[in-house]
Amino acid sequence: MSNTSENIQATLQQALDLGLNKEEFGKIKNILGRNPNFTELSIFSVMWSEHCSYKNSIKWLKTLPRDGDQMLVKAGEENAGLVDLGDDLACAFKIESHNHPSAIEPYQGAATGVGGINRDIFTMGARPIAQLNSLRFGSPDHHNTRNLIKGVVRGIGDYGNSFGVPVVGGEVYFDESYNINPLVNAFSAGIMKKDRFISAISKGVGNSVFIVGSSTGKDGIHGAAFASKDITDDSADDLPAVQVGDPFQEKLLLEASMELSKHNYIIGMQDMGAAGIVCSSSEMSAAGNCGMKINLDLVPKRQNDMKDWEILLSESQERMLVVVKKGHEDNVKDIFDKWDLNCVQIGEVTGDGILQYFMNNKLVAEIPADVLVLGGGAPVYERDYKEPDYFKDLQKFNIDFIEEPTNYKEIAEKLTSSLNLCSRNWVYDQYDSMVGTINMSTNSPSDSAIVNLKGTEKSLFMTVDCNSKYVHADPKIGAMIAVSEAARNIVCSGGKPLAITNCLNFGNPYNPEVYWQFVNVIKGMKEACEKFNTPVTGGNVSFYNQTASNNSEVPVFPTPTIGMIGLGDKKNIMSLHFKGKSDLIYLIGKTRNDIGSSEYLHSSHNIRLSSVPYFNLEEEYMVQTIISDLIKNNLIQSAHDISEGGLFINLLESSMSLNLGFDITTSSELRKDAFLFGESQSRIVVSVSEIHEDKFLDFMKKNNSNFSLLGHVTKGEIRIDDEVFGDIDKYKSIYNTSFSKFIDS
């Protein structure tokens, strides 16, 4: 290209500074048939970053099950997954990370994470109806943990509340591996009529290309590359890479998009998230086998003297790229004018597959669209991996070396106050959970969030789940547990699992031990998703989650957060709380003599790392099948899965809603601490009314199911093996106040 604004050739050192390697720089020169200029090099650096290209993960991601009758779009081909709900409705849903921005600037990092995931949903034509989030912070004793929590929670709350979409659930956990690098994973789900789907595609030579929404500024430049770097002591210097959000502007953009979806004015639309104009123009063009000519002078800007590469790479929020059918430009402008939003034509579709960006009447960059994107010319790597030494060491854990407690009441109270087990109401009270009046689980808690599909007899179920301690102990089994627990939560609530999205958080992929964790997580997810018929609709891979300091890297625990949706009849909704005194308490599944990776082992014996708890996928599937049938046959009053904290915390959570208690007997065949506090999987506690007991027993015996009677519900007293542990009021107070006391201390 002879008429570029900058004919100065980019150098290898510039490529290295932008996160590319020597081989990639050579590949760029071969693709272009010349040296790139700095603008072109910047474009390649963001589009070939891990965040955009998945170059270190796509080989393994492609092994996940991605097909099913419920799938309406192919995994990864649109802004979010899209699943058929029947009744001419579809659900768009996705989860993504905003880890590094939140580590550096917790408020805006978390806020723009919420904004970005909601834009992915409504850009497809779906109205967001519910949000969840999965948050991981460092040790409670770490000097920065409280500040990070406060900033992240306020950012999520302020943006989500202003935008008007309820936060209906989530999870918050603490571990020292997240001391510097927290994880902020945001999930959003939206509902749409199937015929209003908007694709992220460009086609039709001569069709107009518009930028809509907010003006473009210098915030977020090289944000995608920033997300593909280590967190270091100097990461605060990258603060300009953190975007700044405006939820009120996003609300206007939502309503304009919803109005646009009712008409046949456009070809496609895509959110401008990572890599801004570059990403949306290249991905849309590659999807439609076309090109674009873009005039950067026409882009609405909120800062003067922006360079061409700054405009192209800006990740300013609340913007989208829209390809408009020729002749409908004024129709589209009218809609965005109505909502007082920018709507400016900045280019047109071409048929040559080439992206051309102009500024000041000069061609500043010229690149084939296909070479920039995943599945096109972006590099694909298979990294070396090896089993870490720690893995075999953890398998040697033996419960017999752990001394049994002498004071179980003391242990019970301590667990109830654990920040990984107690109520996170301090967090959730800052989120509006009732806006839109669709939340069906706030006043009647269930294992998953439940929202009302108005105008139908159906409800949508959703959950986010992962126990990273389990995954670290055994990545394959831990990932299987994460998928299974998500399915278990939906089944216990009365739904049928449909599909998943995932946010895969790991350390540096160039570390063979980290990559071994990643590979085995994929293998575990694949096996579990196939078992539950929950295809993967898409998601996000977030590498480089670690602390780099003093020439060492400390990765976070591998954290494959599973976002799952399910569908069910409203009449079959099941809550987790006990309903009345004298109801019988049964355990479905089998308890093992197992305390591996339990919160009890960590908090009471100071053993943070140990073997993964017992898990068998076939057992899990059978238990879930039984629970689903029990609910459909109206044979149980409540259902609540046993997870972190074991049986005791399960029973406590089931008791608190109506201030009831429980009287149970432990098994003489097992250690008492394993029975009460162990976290062996595939176990669900149900309550049964006395009048339904015979039918319940007949059903269980007919199905040859593993179950046992634990005891019965009381008026409020907690009794175990005839020992009084206290009243529910005491434990409820501990459970509900521990988190706020920690924050305020």
The DSSP line for 277-331 is HHHHHHHHHHHTT-EEEEEGGGS-BSSTT--HHHHHH---SSEEEEEEPTT-HHH
Distance CA(508)–CA(373), nearest Å, equals 22
Residues with catalytic roles: 51, 98
pLDDT confidence of residue 548:
72
User: Residue 391 to residues 250, 385, 472, 521, 601: CA-CA distances in angstroms?
Assistant: 46, 14, 8, 14, 18
Residue 217: closest CA among 235, 242, 236: 242
Identity (one letter) of the amino acid at 373? V
Distance CA(560)–CA(104), nearest Å, equals 22
State mean pLDDT over 223-239.
49
Q: Are strands 536-542 and 496-505 parallel, antiparallel or unpaired?
A: parallel
Structure tokens at 278: 């570059």
Label residue 374 by pLDDT band (50, 70, 90): confident
pLDDT confidence of residue 132:
95
Cα within 13 Å of Cα(30), Cβ side: 8
Kindly report, residue by residue over 655-688, the tens digit of the pLDDT: 999 999 999 999 999 999 999 999 999 999 999 9
H/E element, 719:
strand 717-720
Coil vs helix vs strand at 244: coil
Structure tokens at 189: 């789900």
How many other β-carbons are positioned within 10 Å of the β-carbon of residue 593?
16
Structure tokens at 266: 């456009």
In this predicted structure, the answer to whether residue 474 has a pLDDT above a threshold of 50 is: yes
Helix-strand-coil split of the chain, %, nearest 5: 40, 25, 35
Burial of residue 550 (number of CB atoms within 10 Å: 0-12, 13-18, 19+):
exposed
Beta bridge partners of 186: 96, 133
Label residue 204 by pLDDT band (50, 70, 90): very high
User: Residue 261 to residues 127, 507, 590, 731: CA-CA distances in angstroms?
Assistant: 10, 40, 51, 51
Is 558:475 a contact under the CB 8 Å cutoff? yes
The DSSP line for 634-685 is T--SEEEE--TTHHHHHHHHHHHTTT-EEEE---TTS-HHHHHH---SS-EE
What does pTM read for this prediction?
A: 0.95
H/E element, 38:
helix 38-47
Distance CA(81)–CA(500), nearest Å, equals 9
DSSP letter for 439, please. B
Q: In what order do the strands lie in the sheet containing 167-174?
A: 81-86, 89-97, 183-193, 127-137, 167-174
Identity (one letter) of the amino acid at 439? N
pLDDT confidence of residue 239:
45
Identity (one letter) of the amino acid at 293? K
Coil vs helix vs strand at 605: helix
How many other β-carbons are positioned within 10 Å of the β-carbon of residue 70?
21
Label residue 240 by pLDDT band (50, 70, 90): low
User: Residue 702 to residues 26, 695, 698: CA-CA distances in angstroms?
Assistant: 68, 10, 6
Q: Are strands 717-720 and 661-664 parallel, antiparallel or unpaired?
A: parallel
Cα within 13 Å of Cα(129), Cβ side: 24
pLDDT confidence of residue 246:
85
In this predicted structure, the answer to whether residue 2 has a pLDDT above a threshold of 50 is: no
Distance CA(30)–CA(259), nearest Å, equals 45
Kindly report, residue by residue over 515-558, the tens digit of the pLDDT: 999 999 999 999 999 999 999 999 999 999 997 767 788 899 99
Residue 632: closest CA among 687, 568, 566: 568
CA torsion sign for 55, 60, 61, 62 is: positive
Distance CA(119)–CA(250), nearest Å, equals 8
State mean pLDDT over 698-724.
96
Kindly report, residue by residue over 150-194, the tens digit of the pLDDT: 999 999 999 999 998 989 999 999 999 999 999 999 999 999 999
Higher pLDDT, 276 or 640: 640
In this predicted structure, the answer to whether residue 16 has a pLDDT above a threshold of 50 is: yes
